[in-house]
Structure 1
């Protein structure tokens, strides 16, 4: 009762605001109706490999988008919470470059909802790593924050430094698919001190955005090389061509 009274008092002094635009909302860490509509949350029939929405209904068989059918993904399943555009893009950029670390917890809950089919078998949650030099400059790894909150909310095993980025890679913004995959080649490995923890385990890789899948491919390859039994991926937002 005392906690409820305290929360009520706090809400009167600091009423909850929309994460996207600061409009007043009913609950903390929520989105107003307008921002929710512009966030492009993914639902319905989706690609089993990357989570993009697909037309039609599920028929009991595996469904993959054209891109995932044309590429040999080193992971078995993938899901995304949102399409990377409009308000969703703004939220990702705010988390990644705008010091909006307060977005990590609600964003992780969106990922958890989208990735529910991937959470079976107690997967080991692992974030996509940053190179130490970039981490020093940015001060935090947004993917690590997402993975931490996701593992806590879903009560899953979590190892934040399971993977290590051993090569500084240039910004992938504007790069072609071939350039992205080339830049990430041999850039990520299993951490020497922790690689045995992946042996025989299902690993769930967590990242903020999936574009070509080059970064997640490098991570998944490292997990496979370390003996992971299966690799799945969950991201906050998926870039699409349309």
Structure 2
């Protein structure tokens, strides 16, 4: 029986991962801050799919709580076969408008938690000779749009480096880089995204199905949809001064650096 651990499991892309992994028969370890929502989701998945679901409430900005999640990931008695590092949030407005404690909290969730859990998972899985790590990054990792973009760039590059380190070990690492996705992500950040045309938005169920297919293929960077594949291909070759120029609008006070989760 496969066991999958998902952080940020109660909403958005994380919830969709939990739903699809349970539907395929995986036992689950669900990580999020809200215990009530965790327990409600766990009960739903047990009833619908008959899988074992463990809830692990944790605020990933808290190093002790993050350490407890890392211990669960590294367990040899109850091994985790797939880790989905999905937890995240974005801040409304620009980098210099925020109190530094807000930026530190965002960095802790977006980057430090991925570092710690990827390290724990990579070691444990390499020892067993099997496993997969999915780090939810963003198309924003290829642009220059404040601390959110920088943190996501860190996640993408960390994933690529770890994938190279684990090559041939039986363990894969995938950076999932979605664009704007229909979830509650932007509502929680209090950002009005209504001006964006519908064609730029991704459907979370399709996104996760495609991501899991890429994980099965051992793909290192997974970019969903032809639109965002083309955008990332262009961003990889466009001169960085032009990338910076086209990213400036993301620094306006009314904007948010995140894409969607």
More helix by share: 2
Asked if Structure 1 and Structure 2 have the same fold, meaning a TM-score greater than 0.5 normalized by the shorter chain, the answer is no
TM (norm. structure 1) is 0.32
